[in-house]
Chain A
Amino acid sequence: MNTARIDARQGGGWLGAYVLAYLVFLYLPILLIPLFSFNNSIQAAFPLQGFTLEWYGTLVGNSALSGALANSLVIGTIAATGATLCGITVSYMDLYGRSPLAATISAIARLPILIPGVIVGISLLILVNLAGFGPSRIAIVLGHILVALPTTVVVMRSRFAAIPTTIREAALDLGASDWTTFRRVMLPLSLPATISAFMLAFLTSFDEFIVAFFLAGTEPTLPLYIWSQLRFPKSLPTVMALGTAILAVSFLIAALAEILRHRGLAATRRPAPASLSKPEETERGELQWHST
């Protein structure tokens, strides 16, 4: 066993270097956007031409941009609320409902991972036209609920699964109704995960392009606005300044969501037995696998 451990450590050095190179590959292209957003040239090319904040100035007072931003914020908030609500109820009933229907709903809710965005987009496009309201902000909200649903279901399911079952049983034994148990015991215990699911769903919606492309009416979202600007070489620096702002906000929200999720899981990990020590990793794997 000792030799195995030494072997592992030797292999770790090379692997560590590889992981570092992998991280560079992952981040380098993304970090070019902030870099060139401060570059005093209309072209995104080396060598850099000097520092400027001019491109950020072009973001101010742009009514098309602020309209798109407002749309994205409203759509993201409503879609994240819907997706989180569905994630909570679907995963709760999947774990405690003990019915084939609840299990089926939970399985279908994780299905959108296996449907390419273009097909989600066209199927909803047909549906909203049939329903009469056509491409609109409501249509995008529906699309984004679908896209974010697998994430919220998996995050909430792993949280509910990590709460010791004895807590819920104690509440029911002491005479609390289903509603009371759900509202006063299970929901407060999963509050950090709920906020985390909401934030991840909001981010998914805020950054989503493929589905929104089909469902947008006359009011574009922010990614759709960026798409429309990509055609004009002259507006590329502005796109990069905007992209930098979006990246910064996305990183911030993702980091906060991660902290909240871990705090929630750590709280239950303490009294739980060793077998429950890593619920979030196993559950994250389920996101990928069970949905098949």
Chain B
Amino acid sequence: MSTIAATQPLPETRSSPGFRFAMLLPGGLVTFLLILFALGLVFFLAFRGNDGSLLGAGFTLANFVTVATDPLYWTVTLRSLGIAGLVTLATVVTAYPVAYYLAFHAGRQRGLLLFLLTLPFWTSYLLRVFAWKIVLAYNGVLNSALIESGIWSEPTLAFLNTPAAVVVTLAHAYAPFAILPIYVALDTIPKSLLEAASDLGAKPFTSFRRIVLPNSMPGVLAAALVVFVPTVGDYVTPALVGGPASTMIGTLIQAEFGKANDWPFGAALAVAVMLVILAVVLVVRFADRRYGSRT
């Protein structure tokens, strides 16, 4: 028996070429054509002049020069970074205790709690943003509640159409994104580490600061990344609750591909956003390596 088994080729090496081709085809088409080639098109278009045609004309750096020199784009980019940074900070800081509870205290309710925390993520993003518009509007829920309770005598316009409204709305929309990676990082910390710390006389806060927090940093960084990326390019929330004072870079890209109809310039803005994201990813990777990622 054993000699027969030994002379057999390993299962992995005898897969037929037809099978491999058929199995790699759908994923290969989608990833190479729809992701890599399509992103390549954006990159290509960013170096073209706008002559009204689909792929523009000539080779030019003018789009990038405008992006780099016009103060408008600096203002909007910095504002996008600021809003996305604040949203990331808010979601990660508020999500951490929830993830901690899930990992160490939830016990039997863990599955149910995890489900309840991720459920809102599967509902319409547009509706979640719209809900905040109801809350913050001039005749909205927050204003009417404050007047009903006698705290304020008149409704205020101060809630809606502010960058703060954008931050709150986005932080609410992306909250589930932050919880899961932190929870996974916390959950994979060996319990023996905590027991050893407590046996050696560490107070709970000390063992949290010296063991739990450093070991969960990969999860925190992953959470920061998955919240930061979609928020930095968002254009729906600024349009619905942000007002003109919170125009973000996604709004400008959308406008260039819409009303302004300057696709090459919009593509250059998109490339700039991707460069910003790439820089953030690299910083996160560097930080992650310093914390000795276990994921």
Query: A: which residues have CB within 8 A of B?
Result: 1, 3-4, 7-9, 11-12, 15-16, 18-19, 22-23, 25-27, 29-30, 32-33, 36, 43-47, 82, 85-86, 89-90, 92-93, 96-99, 101-102, 105-106, 108-109, 111-119, 122-127, 129-130, 142, 145-146, 149, 168-169, 172-173, 177-179, 182, 200, 203-204, 207-210, 213-214, 223, 226-227, 230, 239, 243, 246-247, 250-251, 253-255, 258, 262, 278, 281-282, 284-290, 292
Q: Quick check: is B162 within 8 A (CB to CB) of the other chain? A: no
Quick check: B97 and A89 within 8 Å, CB to CB? no
Q: Which 3 A-B pairs have the closest CB atoms?
A: A116-B233, A285-B184, A90-B27
Interface stretch (choices B61-69, B70-78, B109-117): B109-117
- Name which residue of chain B comes closest to A214, CB basis: B257
Quick check: B128 and A105 within 8 Å, CB to CB? no
A and B contact pairs by CB, cutoff 8 A, 6 listed: A26-B120, A122-B263, A130-B55, A250-B123, A284-B184, A288-B225
Residues of B within 8 A of A32 (CB): 131, 134-135, 141
Q: How many A-B residue pairs have CB under 8 A?
A: 307
Q: Quick check: is B261 within 8 A (CB to CB) of the other chain? A: no
Q: Which of A44, A89, A243 contacts B26 (CB 8 A)?
A: A89
Interface size on B, residues (CB 8 A): 109
Main secondary structure of the interface of A (DSSP, over half): helix
Quick check: A209 and B23 within 8 Å, CB to CB? no
Quick check: B131 and A30 within 8 Å, CB to CB? yes
The verdict on A289 contacting B127 (CB below 8 Å), with A172-B11, A281-B184 known, is: no
Quick check: A142 and B104 within 8 Å, CB to CB? no
Residues of B within 8 A of A4 (CB): 194-195, 198, 204
A280 CB to closest chain B CB (Å) equals 10
Q: Quick check: is B94 within 8 A (CB to CB) of the other chain? A: yes
Q: Quick check: is B79 within 8 A (CB to CB) of the other chain? A: no
B199 CB to closest chain A CB (Å) equals 7
Q: Which of B15, B100, B130, B172 contacts A243 (CB 8 A)?
A: B130
Quick check: A105 and B28 within 8 Å, CB to CB? yes
The verdict on A36 contacting B134 (CB below 8 Å), with A12-B105, A16-B105, A105-B31 known, is: yes
The verdict on A251 contacting B124 (CB below 8 Å), with A11-B105, A285-B219 known, is: no
In the bound assembly, the distance between CA atoms of A250 and B126 in angstroms comes to 13
In the bound assembly, the distance between CA atoms of A193 and B113 in angstroms comes to 21
- Name which residue of chain A comes closest to B15, CB basis: A178
Q: Which of A9, A113, A145, A247 contacts B30 (CB 8 A)?
A: A145
- Name which residue of chain A comes closest to B133, CB basis: A230
The verdict on A285 contacting B180 (CB below 8 Å), with A119-B233, A119-B270, A251-B119 known, is: yes
Q: Which of A45, A109, A146, A282 contacts B144 (CB 8 A)?
A: A45
A105 CB to closest chain B CB (Å) equals 5
Starting from the known contacts A117-B230, A209-B236, 15 additional A-B residue pairs (CB-CB under 8 Å) come to A1-B195, A12-B105, A19-B101, A85-B26, A86-B27, A98-B12, A125-B257, A126-B42, A130-B54, A223-B124, A239-B130, A254-B123, A287-B180, A288-B226, A292-B222
A82 CB to closest chain B CB (Å) equals 8
- Name which residue of chain B comes closest to A129, CB basis: B54
Quick check: A284 and B24 within 8 Å, CB to CB? no
Q: Quick check: is B6 within 8 A (CB to CB) of the other chain? A: no
Q: Quick check: is B183 within 8 A (CB to CB) of the other chain? A: yes
The verdict on A123 contacting B181 (CB below 8 Å), with A129-B54, A207-B123 known, is: no
Q: Quick check: is B189 within 8 A (CB to CB) of the other chain? A: no
CB 8 Å contact bits of B178-194 with A (1 = contact, 0 = none): 00110111011000001
- Name which residue of chain B comes closest to A111, CB basis: B35
